[in-house]
Chains A and B, each alone.
Chain A
Amino acid sequence: MSEFFAMGGRGFYVWMSYGVTALFMVVEVIAVARSKKTVLKRLARMVRAEARGNS
């Protein structure tokens, strides 16, 4: 197992590449999902405010 992570002495370079790539891809998905939620919340507030204004 530790031999696998050592990557023949090149572990630092291999895991810096794979790690940062994985991190960016995961963070991007979370960021996009959250920003969509934020937009929906804002729109929901607007719809509620309009409903109150009409009644």
Chain B
Amino acid sequence: MAFKNSIAWYYFSSPKNFYPLAGRLIPWFWGLSVILLVVGLYMSFFVAPTDYKQGESYRIIFIHVPAAWMSMLIYLVMAVYAIIGLAWKLRMAEMMASALAPTGAMFTFLALWTGAFWGKPTWGTYWVWDARLTSELILLFLYIGYISLQSAIDDPRRAARASALLAIVGVINLPVIYWSVKWWNTLHQGASVSPTMEPKMASVMVTAMLVMTFAFWMYTIAVVLMRVRRTVLERESQTSWVKALVGDRVENSSAGEKQ
């Protein structure tokens, strides 16, 4: 079994084999994401009761917390791919790491944005230099640094190596974000949900938040697979399989024009 698995990993670590696999998986992840989004939004607006202290603006947490979790999760996965890419020189891992960065940056920005619009009615300010907010802002800069470093280096292999190092060093920021509310006396409230404690919220709120998190997760997988397929086409454009694939498309489209 282990042998069979390692064969499968080896097989799909080749861009030629990963490209069609990703293409088949994408519609499934879209489907899951849309279903979870519909359920999650319904729960967020119609099932979860009004918070007695924060009023209706607390409903922002149903996208704020999932976006913040995704911003950290994506960074972690990106760093793992970066390590695999460095250690085994796997092109597919390098491409996955770089495909994750824009979506990670987007969720980081959205976590900050929705946090600001939650903070204004709740704390009376859009922004404070609090440990949680500041470390999340540093995460956004790490993503932007990673993306710009990659686009600044022309050779894709060198770009992947240099940006991988940045991604790996930046992992230090993740525990800082996670425990910032505990280590420093912050304005940002403590964790609402943690694996070691009973949730401090009504269970329907926790459920809605988890459903939205899985919706964002499935969305991330779908959009990252789409992006990595584009990168594969670009970086493997000189290989015979990409030429054959494009050649088939050209033939099909010209056959369509003649009919």
Q: Does A1 contact B (CB under 8 A)?
A: no
Q: Does B257 contact A (CB under 8 A)?
A: no
Interface size class of A (residues with CB under 8 A): 20 to 34
Q: Which of B83-91, B113-121, B127-135, B156-164 contacts A (4 or more CB under 8 A)?
A: B113-121
Q: How many A-B residue pairs have CB under 8 A?
A: 87
Q: With the chains together, A17 CA to B205 CA distance in Å?
A: 18
Tell me the minimal C-beta distance from B218 to chain A in angstroms. 12
Q: With the chains together, A48 CA to B118 CA distance in Å?
A: 54
Interface size class of B (residues with CB under 8 A): 35 or more
Q: With the chains together, A24 CA to B104 CA distance in Å?
A: 12
* Contact A17 B117, beta carbon cutoff 8 Å: yes
Chain B residues with Cβ below 8 Å from A29 are 223, 226
Closest 4 CB pairs of A and B: A10-B57, A36-B230, A8-B56, A7-B56
Can you list 19 A-B contacts with CB-CB less than 8 angstroms, sorted by A residue number? A7-B59, A9-B55, A10-B56, A10-B57, A14-B57, A14-B59, A14-B117, A16-B117, A17-B60, A18-B60, A21-B114, A24-B109, A28-B103, A29-B223, A36-B233, A39-B233, A43-B233, A47-B247, A48-B250
Residues of chain B whose beta carbon lies under 8 Å from any beta carbon of chain A:
45, 50, 55-57, 59-60, 63-64, 67, 102-103, 106, 109-110, 113-114, 117-118, 120-121, 219, 223, 226-227, 229-230, 233-234, 237, 242-243, 246-247, 249-250, 253
